Amino acid sequence: MMGTIRAGAIIACLVLGLLFTLVSTVGVLRLPDIYSRAHTASQADTLGAGFAITGVVLSLGVQAPTIKAVLLLVFIFVTNPTAAHAITRSADEEGIEAWTVDDDRSDVDLAADAETGGENA
């Protein structure tokens, strides 16, 4: 009985992890510019990897490697925002203007902007 519940919880965690990774992928494809995409790209790391590692922790149970899995999560939670910040900061330094709803640039313009470093923005 306990085994079944645990297996169920593990499967649920993995499915949720996959779901959030999927959402993150859809977001990267759908959202307009580098800043909005950075928001959703980090979702795959935080909850996607988070749930996957929670699944690993559940399947390992209480033993020494479990602590390593938790440490893994800690490092992801420290490095993920740092990377997102580094990417958007360099975009900001390149002078790339963030897209807003008032903005009538199309995605083609945004791509051109990204190539020229926002010089014609």
Q: Which residues bind other proteins (CB under 8 A)?
A: 20, 23, 26-27, 30-33, 35-36, 38-40, 42-43, 46-47, 63-65, 67-68, 71, 77-78, 80-82, 84-85, 88-89, 91-92, 97-106, 108-109, 112-113, 120-121
* Nearest Cα to Cα of residue 77 among 100, 54, 94: 54
- The DSSP symbol for 117 reads T
**Minimum distance, C-beta of residue 52 to other proteins, in the bound complex (Å):** 14
**Minimum distance, C-beta of residue 1 to other proteins, in the bound complex (Å):** 28
66 within 8 A of 60, measured Cβ to Cβ: yes
Residue closer to other proteins, measured from CB, 6 or 30 = 30
Q: Is the alpha carbon torsion for 97, 98, 100, 105 positive or negative?
A: positive
Residue with tokens 């313009």: 109
